[in-house]
Amino acid sequence: MTDILVHGAVTSAIYAMLAVGFTLVFGVARILNLAHGAFYMLGAYFTYLFATLLGLPLALAALAAIAATAGLGWAVERWLIRPQRDSSMAVMMVTMAFLLVAEQVLLVTFGSEVVNVPAFADAKFSLGGADIGGQQLLTLATAVAALAVLWLLIQRTRAGAAILALSQDPLAAQYMGIPIDRVYGRVVALSAALAALAGVMAGPFLSTSPHMAMPALTKAFAIVIVGGLGSLPGSILAAILLGYAETAVAYLVSSSWTEVVSLVAVLLTLLLRPAGLRGKRAAF
């Protein structure tokens, strides 16, 4: 039971960082950014590139990886999403194309083998009889801190007020003089940074390969469906529920059944509560 509690918290933390960024973009821009899985993958690969191949200190490499991915997120919004924003289907197609291109570029550049992303902490700890790595504990702490900073950004800053206004009424926000295109770009960049942070922290103890983007996107999509598209609290709640459910199934049944948990949760949500646990029009 202690193993489930401890490792479930780590899994939930990774899922929360993935899903919050994904639902943030939908809540503000009303689009499904299918490039989100690529940002998670790029965060891990940029860290490997900067730290292992270029020899930068790990902390600097991680910050550079997050910044580079956020920049790519802004570029995706500016040159791929913005021209197609009036068509949800076109946005989905062009962002999926970006994910597939990124996957192929990494496959050609680094090969299909798993790469070793360096860890911030290699020590092992025992919590109530459960063994856990220092990197996993750091991932949990980082996720909590990142979500707290995001909440403060949205609730306590002018930039956050603009995001709130845009999520609730884009037309009124435009009449109030809020530069909506600039805010959309910032939101996608912030979403990419959160996904990259998840990749940076989880990369050392999860498999980092060019095939990690699609499973991450699928997991984020499942979580926001269960939590409610556009609801940040719903995404966090769903991430916790699915993270613990998958961990319990892995320990009590078999790890090969963990993917079924998300599929069953999505199916039950669509059948019983299509809006999700906290679904609503406004993002926050």
pLDDT in tens, 76-110: 999 999 999 999 999 999 999 999 999 999 999 99
Mean local confidence (pLDDT), 189-195: 98
**In this model, does residue 142 exceed pLDDT 90?**
yes
Residue 275: predicted pLDDT: 87
Residue 266: predicted pLDDT: 95
Query: Angle at CA 35, nearest 5°, toward 32 and 40?
Result: 120
Phi-psi region of 128 (alpha: psi -120 to 50; beta: other; left: phi over 0): left
pLDDT per position as a tens digit, 158-185: 999 999 999 999 989 989 999 999 999 9
Query: How far apart are the C-alpha atoms of 131 and 126, rounded to whole Å?
Result: 4
pTM for this structure? 0.95
CATH architecture entry for 2-109+131-272: Orthogonal Bundle (1.10)
**In this model, does residue 281 exceed pLDDT 80?**
no
The alpha carbon of 282 is separated from its chain's Cα centroid by a whole number of angstroms, namely 20
CB atoms within 10 A of CB 258: 17
Mean pLDDT of the chain: 94
